[in-house]
């Protein structure tokens, strides 16, 4: 190496360029090896033929995909009305748990009990108990609809988690912000509304995005109590075609939605880390 | 009658007595500087005056009325006493102007339209007219601290408390903040400062109090306290602080 080459590069830059080249070669080689192993060895397994026919059947996928997409609209619909309700209820529970006035003590107890119960029970159990239990009271149409009670089960469960995230957001606002606001003569309630909450909510946006993604997937649990959403629809097609490919189709549709959303949440999270440092 | 009078103020954190029977009189329009090592109780004393800390014992009179009485609603008192902190504590989600208008709107119930001219005048007076619409993180430390002072002044307080407001600033930004204090003194504002700026205290204060272990050990006019301290502790502290 002559010192005259790579005009304008500092010693450090030359070193880093070299290191980058090295990393690239190692990454490329290891990727090629892993992919080659998958492509060569998996099809060599004795059951591959059968698996390919029943899970990755192009014909079945083409036939069922549009109808799966249709069914996914049901998921989107349930998601669309549950998410805002979860945001509101979650925030109310978080505030109830932080209530300081003695008159609101019952509210605090209720908030604590609520989060304990709904975080402690598997989602599917809550969906069953509420989705079958409440219409079992003999409610008239349309009040016995599993869409209503299934959504309610999701709303209750997710509100418990979302409330805890809001609470951590409230705790993340530095005490000195409260001091400054109080020193100006604001009441506790005004401090919460004008100073703490706006910052708290902004701090937890990335975490709440992850809850939204989880909710989008868990909407499928309502299939167990009736609504024909994408998972249920895929099940119907599985029976009709005697083939599992519709499930793979459903998974693909979920991924089309969740991968960009996850990436976006990661981006927000990384951005927040940068802003804080 | 003094504007602000403290009698036997005691504040404890657990077993730790931070203010140990403090008496202090601040006359209308006076600037009083509290000096002393970190942990001597200066900041805590200021927080007690603003009722951010509940005092264990003693009285704090504002215009002759005891504001340290337990059970008294603190908001009315805090609206009359402004406070500025070492770490600025501006609200990061609001512009400088919004920071300054929040409390008068919420506490005095004044409308934005009614308030904006008056608050803009404050920004002009303190040389920040072109920074009003910036968010705190777009301002330098000195500018942020001046906004924090404006935010407190927008409440039209009768007394201002300053808690080491230049300690977090780069040395070249300290001057612009201290200049604001001199302007306020000229306008007759009653002020209590906790400060490590000995030069400023000597030049501008009407009275200097030296605190040690939660007690005021020595007080007097700046010339007397700085040039002829009577107590050994004061001498030792000044020797370290002025070297």
| Res. A7: pLDDT tops 70 | no
Residue A111 near residue A96, CB atoms below 8 Å: yes
Q: Cα dihedral angle (B102, B106, B109, B115), rounded to 10 degrees?
A: 0
| Res. A1: pLDDT tops 60 | no
Check CB contact under 8 Å for B103 and A185: yes
Q: How many domains does chain B have?
A: 1
**How confident is residue A3, by pLDDT bands cut at 50, 70 and 90?**
low
Phi-psi region of A226 (alpha: psi -120 to 50; beta: other; left: phi over 0): left
Among the partner residues B52, B76, B91, nearest to A195 by beta-carbon distance: B91
> B145 in a domain, yes or no?
yes
Euclidean distance between CA atoms A81 and B243, whole angstroms: 69
Check CB contact under 8 Å for B52 and A183: yes
> B52 in a domain, yes or no?
no
Chain A partners of B73 at a C-beta cutoff of 8 Å? none
Euclidean distance between CA atoms A193 and A175, whole angstroms: 15
State the ipTM, two decimals.
0.93
> B18 in a domain, yes or no?
no
- What residue spans define the domains of chain A? 59-276
CATH number at residue B132: 3.40.50.300
Chain B positions contacting chain A at CB under 8 Å are: 47, 50, 52, 74-76, 78-79, 81-83, 85, 87, 89-93, 102-103, 106-107, 148, 151-152, 155
Euclidean distance between CA atoms B202 and B225, whole angstroms: 9
Alpha helix locations (H) across A99-187?
A: 105-120, 123-133, 146-172, 175-183
Chain A partners of B152 at a C-beta cutoff of 8 Å? 183-184
What pLDDT was estimated at residue A101? Answer: 82
Euclidean distance between CA atoms B200 and B242, whole angstroms: 12
- Tell me the backbone φ, ψ of residue B193, rounded to 5 degrees: -120, 135
Provide the percentage of residues in chain A whose pLDDT is more than 70.
97
Check CB contact under 8 Å for B78 and A179: no
Name the closest residue on chain A to residue B87, using Cα atoms. A176
Interface test with B, best of A100, A175, A185, A200 (most B CBs within 10 A): A185
> B232 in a domain, yes or no?
yes
> B171 in a domain, yes or no?
yes
Its domain, for residue B100, covers 28-47+70-208+218-241
Helices and strands (H, E) in chain A, number of each type = 12, 0
DSSP line for B153-194: HTT--SEEEEESTTTTS-HHHHHHHHHHHHHHHHTT-EEEEE
What is the pLDDT of chain A when averaged over all its residues?
A: 91
Check CB contact under 8 Å for A177 and B91: yes
Handedness of CA B106, B111, B113, B114 (dihedral sign): negative
Handedness of CA A169, B152, B111, B131 (dihedral sign): negative
Interface check for A52 against chain B (CB to CB < 8 A): the answer is no
How many C-beta atoms lie closer than 10 Å to residue B224's C-beta?
A: 14
What pLDDT was estimated at residue A277? Answer: 61
Tokens, residue A223: 């299939």
Q: Smallest CA–CA separation between A102 and chain B, in Å?
A: 15
DSSP line for B33-84: EEE-STTSSHHHHHHHHTTSS--SEEEEEETTEES--TT--HHHHHHHEEEE
Between A and B, how many residue pairs show a Cβ–Cβ distance under 8 A? 61
Interface check for A272 against chain B (CB to CB < 8 A): the answer is no
Taking 50 as the pLDDT cut, the residues of chain B under it are none
Q: Which of B115, B85, B84, B83 is nearest to B98 (CA)?
A: B115
Check CB contact under 8 Å for B52 and A181: no
Euclidean distance between CA atoms B66 and B222, whole angstroms: 29
| Res. A4: pLDDT tops 80 | no
What pLDDT was estimated at residue B241? Answer: 85
What pLDDT was estimated at residue A135? Answer: 85
Q: Does domain A59-276 have CATH number 3.40.190.80?
A: no
Burial level of A185, CB count in 10 A (0-12/13-18/19+)?
Answer: buried
Cα-to-chain-centroid distance, residue A236: 26
Name the closest residue on chain A to residue B46, using Cα atoms. A183
Partners of B160 in the β-ladder: B82, B191
> B59 in a domain, yes or no?
no
């Amino acid at each position: 190496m002559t010192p005259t080459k790579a005009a304008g590069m500092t010693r450090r830059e030359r070193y880093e360029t070299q290191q980058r080249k090295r990393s690239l070669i190692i990454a490329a080689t290891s990727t090629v090896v892993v992919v080659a192993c998958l492509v060569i060895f998996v099809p060599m397994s004795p059951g591959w033929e059968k698996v390919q026919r029943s899970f990755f059947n192009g014909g079945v996928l083409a036939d069922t995909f549009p109808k799966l997409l249709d069914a996914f609209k049901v998921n989107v619909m349930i998601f669309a009305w549950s998410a805002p309700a979860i945001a509101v209820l979650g925030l109310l529970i978080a505030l109830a748990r932080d209530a300081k006035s003695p008159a609101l003590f019952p509210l605090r107890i209720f908030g604590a009990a609520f989060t304990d119960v709904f975080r402690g029970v598997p989602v599917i159990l809550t969906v069953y108990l509420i989705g079958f239990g409440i219409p079992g009271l003999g409610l008239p149409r349309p009040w016995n609809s599993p869409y209503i009670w299934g959504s309610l089960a999701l709303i209750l469960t997710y509100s418990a988690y979302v409330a805890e995230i809001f609470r951590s957001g409230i705790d993340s606002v530095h005490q000195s912000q409260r001091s400054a606001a109080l020193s100006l003569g604001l009441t506790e309630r005004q401090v919460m509304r004008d100073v703490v909450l706006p910052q708290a909510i902004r701090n937890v946006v990335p975490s709440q995005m992850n809850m939204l993604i989880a909710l989008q997937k868990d909407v499928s649990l309502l299939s167990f109590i009736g609504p024909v959403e994408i998972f249920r629809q895929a099940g119907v097609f599985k029976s009709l075609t005697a083939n599992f490919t519709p499930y793979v189709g459903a998974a693909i549709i979920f991924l089309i939605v969740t991968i960009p959303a996850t990436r976006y949440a990661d981006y927000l999270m990384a951005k927040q880390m940068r802003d804080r440092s | 009658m003094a504007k602000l009078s403290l009698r036997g103020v005691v504040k404890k954190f657990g077993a730790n007595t931070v203010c140990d029977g403090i008496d202090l009189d601040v006359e209308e329009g006076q600037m009083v500087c509290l000096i002393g090592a970190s942990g001597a109780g200066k900041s805590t004393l200021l927080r007690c005056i603003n009722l951010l800390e509940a005092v264990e014992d003693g009285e704090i009179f504002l215009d002759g009325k005891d504001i340290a009485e337990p059970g008294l609603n603190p908001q009315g008192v805090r609206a009359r006493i402004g406070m500025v902190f070492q770490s600025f504590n501006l609200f990061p989600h609001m512009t400088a102007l919004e920071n300054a208008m929040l409390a008068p709107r919420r506490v005095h119930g004044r409308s934005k339209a009614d308030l904006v001219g008056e608050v803009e005048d404050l920004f002009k007076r303190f040389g920040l007219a072109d920074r009003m619409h910036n968010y705190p993180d777009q301002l330098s430390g000195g500018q942020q601290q001046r906004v924090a002072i404006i935010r407190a002044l927008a409440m039209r307080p009768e007394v201002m408390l300053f808690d080491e407001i230049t300690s977090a600033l780069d040395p070249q930004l300290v001057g612009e903040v201290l200049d604001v204090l001199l302007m306020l003194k000229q306008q007759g504002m009653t002020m209590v400062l906790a400060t490590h700026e000995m030069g400023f205290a000597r030049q501008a204060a009407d009275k200097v109090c030296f605190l040690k272990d939660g007690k005021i050990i020595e007080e007097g006019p700046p010339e007397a306290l700085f040039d002829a301290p009577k107590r050994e502790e004061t001498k030792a502290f000044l020797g370290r602080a002025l070297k």
